[in-house]
Structure formats: C-alpha cells, structure tokens
Structure 1
Amino acid sequence: MKKIFFLFIFFIAFQTTEAQWLFSKEKIKNKENFDKQRWSWGYFLGFNSYDFKFEYEGQAQDVIVEKSLGFNVGLLGNLRINDYIDLRLEPGVVFSGRNLTFPDIPEDNFREVKSTYVHIPLLVKFSTKRINNFKPFVVAGVSTSINLSSNENNPDDNSAGEFRMINNTNYYEVGFGIDLYLPYFKFTPSIRGIFAMTDELKRDEDPNSPYTGNIDSMSTRGIFINFTFQ
C-alpha cells in the first residue's frame, strides 16, 4: 500500500505548476459554471492495492498475503444535490492480484489469486466551498462487485489446487480528493479505502481442510487511487 500512496503523492506533485495559479489570488475561474449542471459525466483511470483480512476459529498461524498493484477503469455519473453535496455512480472494472501462503501447510501451500471485478459504487460526495480553481471533498458510500474470476462454481477446490471465492461482495467506502478546474476540463485525483462487509471465502468440500477449515471469515480491504476527467 506504500507504493500506491507514494504514486498518489507523485501525481499531486506533478500538478505543482498548475497549483501555483490554483491557489493564487487571481479571480479568473476555469469552468466557472461546471458545477451548476444537474447532471455531469466523466471517466476515471486508476490503481489499486487489494488485501485480505482473515478471522480464524481458534488459534492458527496467519495466512500470509502478498499484495500487488492493480488497475481500475470506469465511468462516472454525477447528480448535483446542492452546492456542497453530490450523488455519484462509478461503475468500473478492477483488475487485482494477491498471493496467499499458508504457513501451517508444509507442501503445496501457495495460492495465486487473480481477480477481475465489475465494481459498482454509489457514493455521496461532500465538498467544501470552491476556492479559485480547486475544491477539496470527502466521499463515502456503499458498493457491490461481481468477481468474474471467483471459481465459486468450480467443482475443484484446494485439494486440486483451486482457491475459490464467492461471486458477489458488498463493501463500504470512504475517501477524499480535490477537484482541480483546468481550462478545458475538471481533473480530480482521489484516494479511497474499500472494506468488504461479507465473507468472501468459498470453503473446501472437506470441513477439516487445512486451507479453509480454520478460517471463520475472509474479507477484502483495499485502496483505490483514481484520476477522474470530466
């Protein structure tokens, strides 16, 4: 997660030249009437880092999760409620990867989890008053996803080398960002945490499986860094 955070800082720093006039005392405003529209549209590109949170039945060594950098892409639909509140839908596709190591198992203890999600968040955006050409905000909401790589319906389980997850997961999300009003479009870097509300583990057929038998729940948590263009 450190890599993805530093990447976010890099992109913010890259905007330093623009930031000089965003924070200046000049009263010229770019896209001055943009936020007065009832509806607005856009798209986003970004990065993610997904993790798992495990809860165990009894004592057990923690499953080791190795995270990797993933990619997000999607669309944005924004409904203006008033000057400070917006309702937004951000359907997209998320590509992520995690590697699991089960330290209690002496052999065949590694599983590669590659996931492709159709991710659909419904978010409420709370903004401050616009200052020249920037406007900070916080965002919170709920989301659902369909894991196209879940293996839920695969009859093979870990005894055959297949790690399985359920297809559908629900999350809550919180984050923050800054709207930057450039001469020809609005650019918004943001960072958001996502936290699954449901158990995502599809258990092995053997109730005493060394892979899933002692796991009470397995849920996703992660970070999104998105760059939105409107």
Structure 2
Amino acid sequence: MAFTYLRHQLHLHRNKITVFLFLLLLGAGQHATAQGKLKGENLPGYEYKKLRWGFSLGLNASWYQLEHSQYYVDLMKSEPEFSMNEKTGIGFNVNFITSYRLSPNFSLRAQPGVGYHSRIIEYKGVPADDNTAGGEINQEINTFAGELPLLVKYESKRRKNTQMYFVAGVKPSLVVGGMKKGNDILQVKNMDFAIEYGVGLDMFYPFFKFAPEIRFSRGIGNLHKPTNSVFNNSIQQLNTNTITLYLNFE
C-alpha cells in the first residue's frame, strides 16, 4: 500500500520532483566547490584521460504518454463514466560507463545496463463483459529492460574540483522480463527507442570522480500493440517518458 501511495504522489507532483532534483544538483555543486577551496585540486588532469570506466546507479520516475483512439471517443458516448489516464511509477537503473574523449570539451559515453520501470494506466468506468469484471482497473506494466544509452557529453571548464556538463543522445532498449501477459491485459511492444538529454555535475575527489546527473528520456517509438480488448482498443499511440537521477562513479 505504501508503495502504491508513493507512486500516486510522484504522479501528482511530477514537476515538483524535477525542480527538486535540479536544486539537488545545485546544492551538490556548492558543497563540492567549497570542498575544493579547502583541499585544493583532486585528480589533476583526470578530465583529459582518453578512456575512462565506471558505473552508475539510478532512480527513475516513468509514465506513458498516450493518445486516445476513436474507439475511446465512441465508447465515452455510450459510457460517459469511462476514462483512461496515465500514472507515474518508480524504478531503478544499474549501468556500466565507458567514456572516450573526442576533444578537450567533448566525449562519447556508452552506458549499457538494466532498467526496471513501472508504468501504469488507470481505467475508470470500464464496462463489464465476459472477460472483464468492469469498474476501476489499473493496468500496471512492470518491466526489466536491457538498455544501451549512447551519449555525447559536453563538459564546461573545470573549476577546482567541479565541472558542469550536458549530455544528449539516444537509448535503444529491449524488455527482457517482467511484462504482464493475458488476453484482458494491456499489451505493449518489447522494443523502444528514446531520445535522452540531461545535465550533471562532475565532482573530483582524491580517489574517484562522482557525478549526480538528471536525465530526461522521451520514447519516439509507438509501443501500442493492437489486441482485441477495451484496454488496447482505447489507445491510438503509446510513448514512454522517464526522468532519472543517476549517481555516476568513475
């Protein structure tokens, strides 16, 4: 119950979450800058290494962006209480990092890993039939996906032990487990392709580099999978949206 309540709160306060994560980055930057003034420069020249390795842990908030179908419009005329809305779920990411420097300010980053995503569509006033009890039904899709973000990273000039950066690129992904099955369950495709962009802060410590990062992911592929059910017939197009807070270690 507590887990469901937390997902509901994330859905209601999605914009506030984004602002909070951004302020978290700013606060981390101020802390690291103060630390740099006290201790001098850590890992001198590390930002110019050609090849770097690391790993990252992430916490994500995901939801579907849906487009209603003509079936949905027609059904609402006969069933005025019927409605369909997306809700936000929470998940996590575990990734490896490989970075290759292209120039003093640009590097190429590959970040293969696994992501757990929970996305929900809430149906209200569902008409009852032989396969469906009707009423209020949540279609929750929990998936484990293999992901391969390929990103270009632009780094600003290093100042003591901090360095702002921006990333942008693409992320193909393939669901490897966890999807619900069944004739009366919402069905979606296994493959997705997303555009990603974000901002982060490199913080240099004596033995490693730590970088909190906020990244937004927008799926450009239509995940709608036509099947003969009220859940799928009500949808014309289905795309994914994800906001992730990454904690990167190199």
Partners of 1:140 and 1:16 lie apart in 2 by 24
- Is the 1:178–1:190 Cα contact (8 Å) retained in structure 2? yes
Are 1:164 and 2:176 counterparts? no
Paired position in structure 1 for 2:92: 71
Paired position in structure 1 for 2:172: 144
Paired position in structure 1 for 2:5: none
Paired position in structure 1 for 2:239: 219
- Deviation of 1:138 (Å): 0.8
For normalisation by structure 1, the TM-score amounts to 0.85
2:41 aligned counterpart, secondary structure:
coil
- Deviation of 1:68 (Å): 2.4
Given the superposition, is the C-alpha separation of residues 3 and 54 from structure 1 closer, same or farther in structure 2, using an over 3 Å criterion?
same
- Please report the RMSD computed on the Cα atoms of aligned residues, expressed in angstroms: 2.4
Given the superposition, is the C-alpha separation of residues 5 and 62 from structure 1 closer, same or farther in structure 2, using an over 3 Å criterion?
farther
- Is the 2:224–2:236 Cα contact (8 Å) retained in structure 1? no
Given the superposition, is the C-alpha separation of residues 52 and 62 from structure 1 closer, same or farther in structure 2, using an over 3 Å criterion?
farther
Are 1:176 and 2:199 counterparts? yes
- Is the 1:4–1:48 Cα contact (8 Å) retained in structure 2? no
1:91 to 112, 120, 138: 112
Given the superposition, is the C-alpha separation of residues 40 and 223 from structure 1 closer, same or farther in structure 2, using an over 3 Å criterion?
same
Are 1:190 and 2:213 counterparts? yes
Unaligned runs of 5+ in 2: 1-13, 77-81, 128-133
- Deviation of 1:225 (Å): 0.6
Unaligned runs of 5+ in 1: none
- Deviation of 1:110 (Å): 2.1
Partners of 1:18 and 1:71 lie apart in 2 by 25
Counterpart of 1:28, as a letter, is G
Partners of 1:44 and 1:130 lie apart in 2 by 21
Partners of 2:22 and 2:117 lie apart in 1 by 18
Counterpart of 2:249, as a letter, is F
Aligned residues: 220
- Is the 1:4–1:49 Cα contact (8 Å) retained in structure 2? no
For normalisation by structure 2, the TM-score amounts to 0.79
Runs of 4+ in 1 over 6 A off after TM superposition: none
Map residues 191-210 of structure 1 onto 2, 5 A cutoff: 191-204=214-227, 206=228, 209-210=229-230
Are 1:56 and 2:64 counterparts? no
- Deviation of 1:113 (Å): 1.3
Paired position in structure 1 for 2:123: 102
Question: For each residue in 1:156-200, what CA deviation from the matched residue of structure 2 results, as whole angstroms up to 9, or x when unmatched?
Answer: 322xxx332211110100100111111111000000000001011
- Deviation of 1:112 (Å): 1.9
1:157 aligned counterpart, secondary structure:
coil
Partners of 1:91 and 1:41 lie apart in 2 by 12
1:102 aligned counterpart, secondary structure:
strand
Are 1:19 and 2:33 counterparts? yes
2:101 to 80, 93, 97: 80
Comparing both structures, which one devotes a greater share of its residues to helix?
Answer: 2
- Is the 1:27–1:132 Cα contact (8 Å) retained in structure 2? no
Are 1:121 and 2:149 counterparts? yes
Identity %: 25
1:68 aligned counterpart, secondary structure:
strand
Partners of 1:82 and 1:14 lie apart in 2 by 27
- Is the 2:29–2:201 Cα contact (8 Å) retained in structure 1? no
Partners of 2:232 and 2:197 lie apart in 1 by 30
Are 1:134 and 2:148 counterparts? no
